Amino acid sequence: MKFYTAKTPKLVKWLAPSLIWEFSVSEKSIYLTFDDGPIPEVTPWVIEQLSKVNAKATFFCIGDNVEKYPEIFKQLIREGHAIGNHTQHHVNGWRTSNTSYIQNVDKAEKTFSNLIDSKKNSKPYLFRPPYGKITPSQIKRLTKLDYKIIMWDVLSADFDTTINSEKCLENVIKNTKKGSIVVFHDSLKAFEKLQFTLPKVLQHFNKLGYEFKKITI
C-alpha cells in the first residue's frame, strides 16, 4: 500500500517549519538529491549523467557505504557535489532511541571527516532522516548540533516497486517547480527507474533553462 505523496502537502510543511522542504522560487533552480549511496553499481553512473548538463546535486550518504566505497565518496567531492548525512546504518528515527539515533548520525559524520579533512569544519551539516522519519526531540538535538535537516518538495518514488518508470518520471516532471528539492536514490532497488527517469528529467528542465544546484546553507 502506498504511504507517500509525490508532492509534499503544504500542511506537512506547515507542521514542521524548522525543516527545509524547498528553496526560493525567485530563480529557475532545482535541487536534485540522491539518498542511500554511494555504491559502485549506481553512483558513478549518476555522476556521469549529471556531468552531461553541468548539474550539481546533493548526495545524502550512508556512512557504512562510504566506509565500503571511499573512492566513490571522494569522487563526489572532486566533482563538486554536496554531501549530506543519512546516518551510518540507515536507521529509522521512529524506532530508535534519541541517544542511539544521535550516535548513529555522529558516527556517519566522523566517517566522512576521516576521508575529507575539510569536512570537519563544514558547518552547518546537512542531514536527511532515512524514510523521512524523525521525532521532534531528535530534530531539536540535531539542530543544536548545527545540522540543517533537509526534507523534500518532490518524491520521485524510484524506490517503489509497484509503479513503473513512466510513473516515476511523471512524479518529477509534474510536480517540480522553481526551488524544488527532488528525491532520487542511488541504490540498486531504484536503479531501473533511475536509469529511465534521471536523463529525461535533466534534459527536460535543462531545455527549459533551469539550473541544477547543490544545497549550500
Asked, for residue 131, whether it belongs to a domain, the answer is yes
Which cell numbers in the block locate residue 13? 510543511
CATH at residue 143? 3.20.20.370
pLDDT digits (tens, 9 = 90+) for 153-180: 999 999 999 999 999 999 999 999 999 9
Predicted local confidence at residue 122, as pLDDT: 61
Considering the domain boundaries, does residue 56 fall inside one? yes
| pLDDT given at position 119 | 47
- What per-residue confidence (pLDDT) applies to 3? 77
Range of the structural domain that residue 58 is part of: 10-212
pTM higher than the cut 0.85? yes
Residue 3 lies in a domain: no
- C-alpha distances in Å from residue 49, one per residue of 63, 116, 195, 197: 24, 24, 9, 11
Give the pLDDT of residue 120.
Answer: 47
One DSSP character per residue, 86-143 reads --SS---GGGS-HHHHHHHHHHHHHHHHHH-GGGGG--SEEE--GGG---HHHHHHHH
In a domain, 123, yes or no: yes
Residue 79 inside a domain? The answer is yes
- Residue 137 lies inside a defined structural domain of this protein: yes
Question: Where in the sequence numbering do the catalytic residues fall?
Answer: 35, 185
How far apart are the C-alpha atoms of 202 and 76, rounded to whole Å?
18
Kind and range of the H or E run holding 85? strand 82-85
Q: Nearest-CA neighbor of 33 among 148, 162, 117?
A: 148
The answer for residues whose C-beta is within 8 angstroms of residue 17's C-beta and 6 or more apart is: none
Based on the structure, what is the number of domains in the chain? 1
pLDDT value of residue 24: 87
Q: Is residue 18 part of a domain?
A: yes
10-residue averages of pLDDT along the chain (217 residues)? 85 95 93 98 98 98 98 96 97 97 96 75 83 97 96 97 97 98 98 98 98 95
Structure confidence at residue 123 (pLDDT): 64
In-domain check, residue 38: yes
